[in-house]
Structure 1
Amino acid sequence: MQTSKKVIISFLLFFLIGCKKSNTSEITNINVKDSVKTQNSTKVNDHSKELSDSFVISCGSGCAMTYNLKNVKDLGNIKEVRFEVETYIDEVLSETNDESYLFYYNRSNQIEKIQHKGEKENILENLLPNAVESFKNFAGKLVNDIKINANKVP
């Protein structure tokens, strides 16, 4: 009886230690994903002010895409934005692409639609809600930073 108690206690300790190691690795994974959210500096409209921004979209099942701002062209109510898009699968960079988007704003500087350059589809109607929210947040920051920048230029 004494031996079986020791075996059971040893098994429970082994199980608990195994669970703690698993939780620690999950925390590490979260920290690695958070560290992916780096800030890049890009000149806006060739003026001296720089817009710092990037955002991450989870595409599920260990996949994430980081959109790093490279360039912005202010075309009035339309902003042409070029991103370097890094795709991570299981926290490993699998590919990097340049993508250009057109951000369409109304007269109140509210985002109306976003399209891949050269396409007609409004991505705000077809993406998952979290991705739509990320693009809308970026669009709000983008128009506010450009508006501030324009006010500083003589």
Structure 2
Amino acid sequence: MTTKVLLTSLFIISVLSSCKKKTMQQKIENLPPVPTTATAPLPSKETTIADVENNSFTLSCGSGCAATYTAEDISQDKTSVRVKFKVDNYLNDEQTETTYETYLFYYSNTGEIVKIINEENQNNILDNYILSAQESFKEFAASLVQDKKIKLPQSKE
């Protein structure tokens, strides 16, 4: 009787632990896409923003999974701000890979973020990403305006 109880308990524990691993793997798979291809060079009509220090934020994907976005290049044209991020992915506090992603930030003439487009797949973060990721990107966008690193588009009156 004791052996049956012990074996049953071990079986239940192993099933539960394998389910947890699968759940964490599913969370990793549900992260925003990470482009790995090179991007085209910047058009000459863009203005490069020199000070990109301390422009980073971290997104959590749950259960020991995180991605840190660090701005490496910020440039601006008349309609958008282009930010190239170095993305460090972590699993259980260990860095697993580094990739690069580029986003286009579009602002209203009052400084509010209108949309944030992933340059690789053309998805709008404000429509397609989880709420916590949207908030992190919005805070980053607001910091660019607050720190006066970008010029707001002029109204078309």
1:83 maps to which residue?
85
Residue 73, structure 1, aligned to residue 75, structure 2: yes
2:52–2:74 contact (8 Å) kept in structure 1:
no
Relative to structure 2, which stretch is displaced further, 113-122 or 63-72? 113-122
More helix by share: 1
CA deviation vs aligned residue, 1:82-104 (integer Å, no higher than 9, x gap):
00000000110001001100001
2:57–2:69 contact (8 Å) kept in structure 1:
yes
2:74–2:82 contact (8 Å) kept in structure 1:
yes
Distance 1:76 1:54 in 2: 24
**Structure 2: which 5+ residue stretches go unaligned?**
1-46, 152-157
Number of matched residues? 104
Distance 2:139 2:49 in 1: 23
After TM superposition, the structure 1 = structure 2 runs for residues 37-116 of structure 1, keeping only pairs within 5 Å, are: 45=48, 47=50, 49-116=51-118
4+ residue runs over 4 A deviation: none
Relative to 1, partners in 2 of residues 1:125 and 1:90: Cα closer, same or farther, differing over 3 Å?
Answer: same
2:58–2:69 contact (8 Å) kept in structure 1:
yes
Distance 1:50 1:114 in 2: 18
TM norm structure 1? 0.61
Letter in 1 for 2:107: Y
Relative to 1, partners in 2 of residues 1:96 and 1:142: Cα closer, same or farther, differing over 3 Å?
Answer: same
1:77–1:107 contact (8 Å) kept in structure 2:
no
TM norm structure 2? 0.60
Letter in 2 for 1:68: T
Share of identical aligned residues, percent? 38
1:77–1:106 contact (8 Å) kept in structure 2:
no
Secondary structure at the aligned position of 1:109 is classed as: coil
Distance 1:50 1:57 in 2: 19
2:49–2:73 contact (8 Å) kept in structure 1:
no
Distance 1:68 1:55 in 2: 7
Specify which structure has the bigger relative contact order, considering alpha-carbon pairs within 8 angstroms and separated by 6 or more residues: 2
Structure having the higher Rg: 1
**Structure 1: which 5+ residue stretches go unaligned?**
1-43, 149-154
Secondary structure at the aligned position of 2:67 is classed as: strand
